[in-house]
Structure formats: C-alpha cells, structure tokens
Structure 1
C-alpha cells in the first residue's frame, strides 16, 4: 500500500473519531453516505453482507469499514453509542452475529426501521442511504473489537508505536518483517463481539499500513496513537 493511501486511512480514522464526538448526540436528519470505492450490489436487498473480506478482499473490506465508520458516526452513534458501544438506549450492535441470520435482522431494521406501540424507535434508512451504505455500516460494526480485547497488549503496542515513530523519519534501521509479524500476531488474538473472524483493531491497521517507507511508518504511528487514545 502506498504511503499516500496509508496517510489517508489514518486521517480518515481521526476524522471519524472527531465526527463521532460531534454527532453522537441530538436528533439530526439522516446524512448521506459517500460510498465511492465500493462495488455496487444492485437494487434488490441482499440477506448477507457482501463486503466481508473473504468475498471482496482486504482492500475493499477496509474501504467498507472506512465508509461505514463515517456513515455510522453520522447516522447511528447518537442512539447506538460511540464506537458502537451502546449506553443502553439501543441494542449493542457489536454483538449482532456476523452470520446470515444476523445480516437479515440488520437489513430489515436498517431498511424499514422499527416502530413500537406507535412510536418510531428507529427511522427507516433504506430509501435514504441505500444498500451500499447499509452494508458498509454493518461491516464497520461487526469488525469492532470486543470489550477489553486489547487490554493485555496496550503497553506493548505503545512501545511498538514509539519504535515505529522513529522510523517515520529514518526507516533505514527498521526490521519491517519483524514489526509486521508481531503486530499481526497481536491482531490475530483480538476477538470481535460479533464473531467476525477479523477485528479492525489498531494492531491490524498498523500492520497493514507498514510498507517499509517513512510515510508508511508515519501512518502506522498515527493509527496506533489515535486507536490507543480512543480505547482509554
């Protein structure tokens, strides 16, 4: 992955976090979601998430997560919670199973909304946002790490971040393979609440961003800094 794309991913993560803080409260109108870069899925609503990595590959999966984070922060966080961590007002979507039956429940609620005793508990987003946005948000939510999943690795990740920061200015002494291998090992231990096989953790992001260039190390450092700050 190029350094430019790496920096854009890290910046997108930072902007998404900032947007969450701004938009997580108050009753606002649904906001359109730019799904540029995602494969079109047609007009008929699917019953299974089409943007999982085993279907579309790692790059599209990460793009779906990036778009889904923006869409979630603008339209869902005010009820379902920051980083998809519910405060009890609405279901905690991190624990909606990453299986077809979980997808069916999600698609129906997203498309049609939910009304109880004549009161709209959730508006219908299907016509307003479309199917690509719906599945991107689903991809983002189901890839959230489980509660406390990184706690055992926080200190080590901070140390790796500080090490990587030095390589952002001079990468000549970096052992790229060893860094990526260790970050990948940590990422493999991070479980999702949904049962999805891969969590979009800061360890996973950092490993993906490192490409041997100073720009790649800078992007990985930023991803770790932002992610570790958000986790505590």
Structure 2
C-alpha cells in the first residue's frame, strides 16, 4: 500500500510525516492480522528535479541491449516499459523527452523496471553497462540478488567488507549484520590485493556495501546463523 506524504519535521532519526489522505486502518489490520503494534513502512525521499538527460541516455542504452538480445523493435520495448510504469504507479504517465514534467524519481522508477527485467531474464548488459549508476543501493542489491559482479556483470560471489577472519565459520555468522557487495572471482581478488579504498577510486564505486535481509540471503544461498531474525 503506497501513500503520498510530506515530511513536516526532522529530529535526528525521527520524522514527523503528514499523509495526504487518511490511513485505511481496516486494511492494515488485515495485513498485520489485527496487530498494529509493529507496522513497517518504507520511506522514499522523492527527487523533485526534472528528469535528467543522462537518465534518458541510460534508458535507451538498456533498451538497445534488450533489442540486441530479443530482436524486439525499440519502439515496442519503449511502449512496453511505459505501460509497466503506468501499471506500477496506478496510471501515471512517463516521458523522458526534453520538455518532460516527470521528475528524477519518476525516471528512476522507470529505469528500475528495465533493470529488473534485464536481471530477471538474464539479458546481457553491453551498451548500457558503463552508464549504470553503480553507486546506487538498488543496483548493488540486484547484483547481490542475481549474483552479478558489480564491476563487470560476470557471475559473482558475495564479498564481505567486514572480515570474518581466518578459520571463521560463515554458517555461524549472522550475515544480515554485515555489509556485502557482489564481485566476480577476479575483482574479489583485486579488492583484497589493492584494498577497498583504491578499488573504489579505480572503478568509481562505493565500497561501503549494503546489508541484505534474511529472505534475500537465503534465496542466494548464503548460509548463516539467522535464528535471531526468525
């Protein structure tokens, strides 16, 4: 359930939120089996700036990669993803033209649909790979989820940025507490050799990594001690 809202006040890690409409409490009770004591929400800070030319360039580069893979005409692919965007946003239209009224956040939603599609159907990233925003958490998450190297797109292992230690048993570690990133064997060796800081400078990627939830870790077959998360 998605609801528009405005932040009225910031206080450390607390936000005062004003919703544009009232919450349907009966629906929430259905979702949480009547227990409203632990309702989870996801906060997205919307970027209100006008959609950027580089977002348009990335969209059509990725569409070109899908065309190379599938043979489907570019215009048909464009229309397909525009329709998927409308479905996801309850009928909202999207345009990446120079005179667009859509925002950076709108364009990012569209790009996420395309990137999701390419990961799900194993479409090779070629022209669009160099333009991918590798510094974005969502992209790094998808790389981990689909075990694709953040740097080159090849099959990847999950690299732990906090050292587990020689002889440490990874199956006894709660990986939800550790930062990870997806790296192929070659780039995994390289980051160990030159260090995270130099690696980040070389490939223009953050080396802070991301944290994954238990469900995702299990889907990508990362064994660990998750009893506390049950």
- Give TM-score, length-normalised by structure 2: 0.26
RCO greater where, 1 or 2, for CA within 8 Å and sep 6 or more? 1
More strand by share: 2
More helix by share: 1
| Structure label with greater radius of gyration | 2
